[in-house]
Structure 1
């Protein structure tokens, strides 16, 4: 590895590492710059791969992009697991949508209607059908649906596997903070620093905090069989099983700047909703409460592509709540652009839709890279 790699990537989350892997597979020399700051999104992501059951796609184009990404996940997961010998915690058991009461069911039903014609399949279930698939659900859950093709993965295991994969191809991971793009010398520089990308790109990328609680059942009994997207009191909650009796609970959304500290209120809200859906979780131990900072943009669409007025500088950020899901497709499209000059990225994701012509050339704020 030289001091002037073919590609320098700022950010070693799941998006940055997947891009580094693909570029290295094409024979490029790659350096990844990373600073393990509190709130790194991939370190806390629950790992839902669920465009059909996800209710937060602001644009049909992004929904289609997400469904294309989901279709790549089985092959991507198999390639990464086979290449590293590591278990990714990839589950294909499907996702259950669960409404706790009748008002919640109205909201879930509207989600189904929004998905009509999108290419995803959601089978409606009544209360009995739900509990036939998930016996641990509370008796008062009124109904929902089952999405066969929506999956989930242990995002933290994926990141660990990607680190092994990129290092095996000679990618250099540099543990230091990048405060200005002027520090980097490379054929192409890609900003994939998540919520910390805004300063480096002079772009409106802002953090949205999401809290996560990890529970453990010391009895070792059978946990939930599926990933669950529930609605309780009009609010969402996500549940996913992990090996060894662990359960991940997630879904808060807070605009709190770069404050990545979990709060008692956030943890309490997640536990209240989780136990309303799966009462046995009330007897599990709280192992950890963490928070991740999702990179959002004003229109909630990603920033992907070349940066105006800066040849060789690329944006790959703003994936909001969908970074884990989108990573394989994002990496393939960005690699094609960087290596082959083929731009097959939706025009709606272009960095030029915001004023990014003037980039930061001096020091950025403390904690501006991930």
Structure 2
């Protein structure tokens, strides 16, 4: 325990914030450094579906984290509400997948994984979701899928951390490199000076690979741009999440509806484009024709931390004592955060891990 009295976390997205939240009770001091404002990047930009978009297309490594997190999210939301007074709004609506090419594979995966996914008659979907567009012929449904209102989750985590006496959050504090003593990483250099610690945790999302270049470590995490649009409707307008042709509609409790998202390899460019706006509006209207007469109230872009097969890096970096990773969650950062951050805390604090940590270990993957 004594080895990790002071933990420095680089990155203030949901992964960094929740890592800090999970460690705070067991270490002497946690210092979180964020180059901008906490949770303003991928964590803010995503849709917050508490499931991979197509869970059956992922490796068992991603599935293991997803299942643990899905089951834990309601508990996390209650705990954050009690701690911070801010509700992350975990909203269980269920999710319809329409006209899947690999429906048989999806249903076989659900039987094997014990998840409640089933084929449903399209007439039943139309009756449950009256605003749904025509032209769909098949559907599968999972009833317990929730979405979390990610900006509220970020605000709730930030408030919870600010209430903890041994946690310090430094925003506008960009990390420029690492402090190294021989084989050991003992801290980071920031725009505001050096910050030292017994453990340095890199949770910098799409920027993690760039930071590790300072140590000549090749981390295959790169920015993948995603654009989304938002509508405001009546609170009872859309009762359920729907997904077709890779695009989804997500209802919030207050009637906001998110439509997403694009998948673009454009480096660190985050500028929303007219092309994407038109494409997203077309998807919105195909899913929900009534939106043809509505104007989006917002349009934005974010950068996902793309990684091979979407498997995050969680654990210590061999040859660099004191350096740890919790990054590279690609499209599923919000989905996988509770499990990833619990697993990370287990490894750092040398507790029995919640799931087998081997698939996520940086060793052998860098």
* Mapped contact 2:73–2:90 kept (Cα < 8 A): no
Residue in structure 1 matched with residue 67 of structure 2 by the alignment: 67
The CA deviation at 1:118 is: 1.7
Match 1:239 to one of 249, 267, 288: 249
Instruction: Give the whole-Å Cα distance in 2 for the aligned partners of 1:22 and 1:309.
Output: 26
Please give the alpha-carbon distance, in whole angstroms, between the structure 1 residues aligned to 2:40 and 2:84: 26
Q: Does 1:225 align with 2:239?
A: yes
Alpha-carbon distance in 2 for matches of 1:16, 1:119: 31
Q: How does 1:186-265 map to 2 (within 5 A)?
A: 186-201=197-212, 202=217, 203-217=219-233, 220=234, 222-231=236-245, 236-265=246-275
C-alpha displacement at 1:5, in angstroms?
A: 6.7
Counterpart among 172, 177, 180 of residue 180 in structure 1: 177
Query: Whole-Å Cα distance in 1 between the matches of residues 105 and 150 of structure 2?
Result: 29
Q: Any idea what SS the aligned residue of 2:24 has?
A: helix
Inter-CA distance 169–315: structure 2 relative to 1 (3 Å threshold): same
User: For residues 154 and 193 of structure 1, what CA distance do their matches in structure 2 show?
Assistant: 21
Aligned-residue offset at 1:321? 0.8
- Which protein has greater RCO, CA pairs closer than 8 Å, 6+ apart? 1
d(CA) in 1 for partners of 2:55, 2:278: 23
When normalised by structure 2's length, the TM-score is: 0.87
What displacement does 1:57 show? 4.4
1:41 match: 42
* SS of residue paired to 1:293: strand
Superposed displacement of residue 86, structure 1? 1.4
* SS of corresponding position for 1:65: helix
Higher mean alpha-carbon deviation, 140-149 vs 307-316, is at: 140-149
The question of 1:269 aligning with 2:279 is answered yes
Contact 2:225 2:303 in 1 (8 A): yes
Q: CA RMSD in A?
A: 2.1
Contact persistence 2:315–2:362 (CA under 8 A): yes
5+ long unaligned stretches in structure 1: 100-104, 356-370
- 3-state SS of paired residue (1:91): strand
Q: Report the CA distance between 1:132 and its aligned residue.
A: 1.9
Structure 2 gaps of 5+ residues are 180-188, 190-194
Q: Equivalent residue of 1:285, what SS? A: coil
Shift of 1:28: 3.1
Question: Superposed, which structure 2 residues align to 1:1-370 within 5 Å?
Answer: 6-36=6-36, 40-51=41-52, 54-55=54-55, 57-99=57-99, 105-170=100-165, 171-175=167-171, 176-182=173-179, 183=189, 184-201=195-212, 202=217, 203-217=219-233, 220=234, 222-231=236-245, 236-340=246-350, 342=352, 345-355=356-366
The answer as to whether partners of 2:91 and 2:252 remain within 8 angstroms in 1 is no
Q: Which deviates more from structure 2 when the two are superposed, residues 128-137 or residues 27-36?
A: 27-36
Query: How far apart in 2 are the matches of 1:254 and 1:7?
Result: 34
- 1:298 is displaced (CA, Å) by 2.9
